[in-house]
Structure 1
Amino acid sequence: MTARIGRCLPALSRAERLVAEYLRDHGRAAIFATAEQIGAATRTSDATVVRTAKSLGFTGLLELRRSLAEEVVLQTSPSHHLLHQTALNQTRPHHNGGGAPDPVVAQVFTEAAERLSATWRLISSAGFDRAVDLMDDAREVLGFGLGPSGLLARYLGLRLTRMGRRARATGSTGFQLADDLVGLGPDDLVVLYVPSRLLAEIEVVLDHAGAVGARVLLISSSLGPLFGSRVDVALTAPQSVSNFTGEMLSAEVLTDALLLRLASRDETRATKTSELLTSLRSELVQGDGRTRPPRRGRGA
């Protein structure tokens, strides 16, 4: 796809070039995006998006998205990267210093450092502060994520609760998601953990948040431009290109940074909640570390 776009780019109109460059640079997001969403992200139109797909030699947007999906699957395949890395290692001279790390292990740590460095570079001070403001002002924070993102949503809810703030999390789909959204109100904040996949549940959450006036903080690797004004703040957490490191690595570190800044704004509340938590834990555990047996009723 990248090579095809490079060949066709000189012959495209200005508007088509904008779409083609977006497809080249945001292939993962485009796989699940509609023509309207791509048009909004590129400030063109859905008709221009369809026209660009045909100018690139596809029958339409559907065929183009299938081609993007095949390319992304190949690029993110762990076996593909492992074979590529192994081939590189075999062509390089070996320097056995007695403590050289396994190349695959080295790749994991290298990629992790690169992702966190990229996350740090992409943080906007204004956007970060605005995100903390939203969390600070919220009556309740609802974290939402599916799959691995759901684990991070629950982590956010747990950390906020331990700071003395109202929070809950959901990773539900179907009718259960509807139950979790019912209590959302205008003074609440939804934190969306959406790496790079557009799913129907995300549209439902965004539509309902907009209907009730709740604020939305999006943490995503590439979908911020697609949602535009439907979210109040979008923070970028780069995703792994090789699957050597976890999907939510950069998003988790970014979440820790947000929580640390939030805690510093009300240290008294955080301290009181921590003391209460410690007290409750001591009530649940005896001095020898065993769980306290249940108390007998008064009539026993």
Structure 2
Amino acid sequence: MWTGSADAPPTARIAMLAPSLQPSERRVAETVAEDIEASIERTAQEVADLAGVGRATVIRTAQSLGYEGYPQLRVALTREVALGTSTARDDGDDTMLGTLRGAIDHFAGRLGQTTSAMTEETLERFVRVLDEAPRLLIAANGLSSPLGSDLAMRLISAGRPAEYLPDTLGQQIAATHLGPGAACLVLSGSGANRASVDVAAAARASGATVLAITSFPRSAVAELADVALVVAPIDATFRDELVHTSRAAIMLVTESVVGLLVGRRGDRAQRAQSATLAVISGSLSDDASD
């Protein structure tokens, strides 16, 4: 069942919940997502026939997505289409540059949905733990690994000490020794990376607070987390997310969260950033030949 913001559009909910839906419900959800405008006009029975399921499954799917029934889902789909968030621009330009522009337009068109599953309470608690934990371990593996390294550097530059170990076994060992009061922040787009799940479990067993940034609210990492920020996938279906995997939205959120932390820390963060800039300035050379 959907537990995020009531303002989250249907396609964002489908993308985030699809992996955890029953197979029959997933077929319904992806049938709807594949043709939003047609789904608005279809009855529950017509959707059921297309998905090869019973009408009751269509109704259950709508309820799993957080709507009272299929009529309410159709209304939400209508609103999403009216706001122009479910489709990307297609100007018929099939050149490489046109394709690139189309991909960027698609990303930009759905970027507003990135935070649709978040609430003020969850975000405030996440940043508070990030600020107050005496020890912070960053865990990220697979496609999320570069994000872990980048986030650790940004936090350190803001005066928030953070540990990031690229070795998966090293992450798990470090998580085992965290203990109460410490925090482990797990970055995992899928929320199902085995190494990241193991680190989260080890941190939780140690008594540490587990933070997570993921795209799927019912994933293993999200279930293990004390506080999870769910970043809506850019693509509308789980299949698209697997084929066109992107961590750009998660990177944007992590950068913005560091900005929130800097704002919370005030002068402490400003002094740390000034010290960081001084180091960077000292490493630059005026000699163009270097």
Same fold (TM over 0.5): yes
Alpha-carbon distance in structure 2 between the residues aligned to 1:271 and 1:227: 33
Shift of the 192–114 alpha-carbon distance from structure 1 to 2, 3 Å rule, reads: farther
- Does structure 1 residue 202 correspond to structure 2 residue 247? no
Q: 1:110 to 1:287 in 2, by over 3 A?
A: closer
Residue 274 (structure 1) aligned with residue 273 (structure 2): yes
Distance 1:280 1:224 in 2: 42
Among residues 226, 234, 238, which one is paired with 1:232 in the alignment? 226
State whether residues 158 and 272 of structure 2, in contact with CA within 8 Å, keep that contact through their aligned partners in structure 1.
yes
Q: Does 1:217 align with 2:217?
A: no
Q: Does 1:141 align with 2:136?
A: yes
Higher Rg: 1
In the superposition, the TM-score normalised over structure 2's length comes to 0.62
Aligned match of 1:109 in 82, 89, 104? 104
Q: Which residue of 1 aligns with 2:52?
A: 7
Q: CA distance change for structure 1 residues 290 and 275 in 2, over 3 Å: closer, same or farther?
A: farther
| Bigger mean CA deviation after superposition, 103-112 or 219-228 | 219-228
Alignment partner, residue 248 of structure 1: 247
Classify the secondary structure of the residue corresponding to 2:54.
Answer: helix
Q: Which amino acid aligns with 2:253?
A: L
Structure 2 residue ranges without an equivalent (≥5): 1-22, 32-47, 66-87
Matched residue SS, 2:163: strand
Distance 1:226 1:179 in 2: 19
1:154 deviation in Å?
1.0
**For 1:161 and 1:188, how far apart are their aligned partners in 2?**
16
Q: Aligned runs of 1:1-300 on 2, under 5 Å?
A: 2=27, 6-10=51-55, 21=61, 102-173=97-168, 175-196=169-190, 198-224=192-218, 226=220, 230-241=224-235, 242=240, 247-285=246-284, 288=287
Give 3-state SS (helix, strand or coil) of 2:216's partner: coil
Q: Deviations over 1:35-91 (max 9, x none)?
A: xxxxxxxxxxxxxxxxxxxxxxxxxxxxxxxxxxxxxxxxxxxxxxxxxx9xx97xx
Contact 1:115 1:238 in 2 (8 A): no
Q: 1:284 to 1:120 in 2, by over 3 A?
A: closer
Number of residue pairs aligned between Structure 1 and Structure 2: 216
CA contact (8 A) 2:127 2:261 kept: yes
**Match for 2:225: what amino acid?**
V
CA contact (8 A) 2:149 2:164 kept: yes
Tell me if the contact between 1:115 and 1:250 (Cα under 8 Å) persists in the aligned partners: no
Secondary structure of the corresponding residue to residue 120 of structure 1: coil
For the aligned residues, what is the CA RMSD?
3.6
Question: Normalized against structure 1, the TM-score is what?
Answer: 0.60
Shift of 1:259: 1.0
Counterpart amino acid of 1:258?
Answer: V
* Percent identity over paired residues: 20
**How far apart in 2 are the matches of 1:120 and 1:230?**
21
Deviation at 1:284, TM superposition (A): 4.3
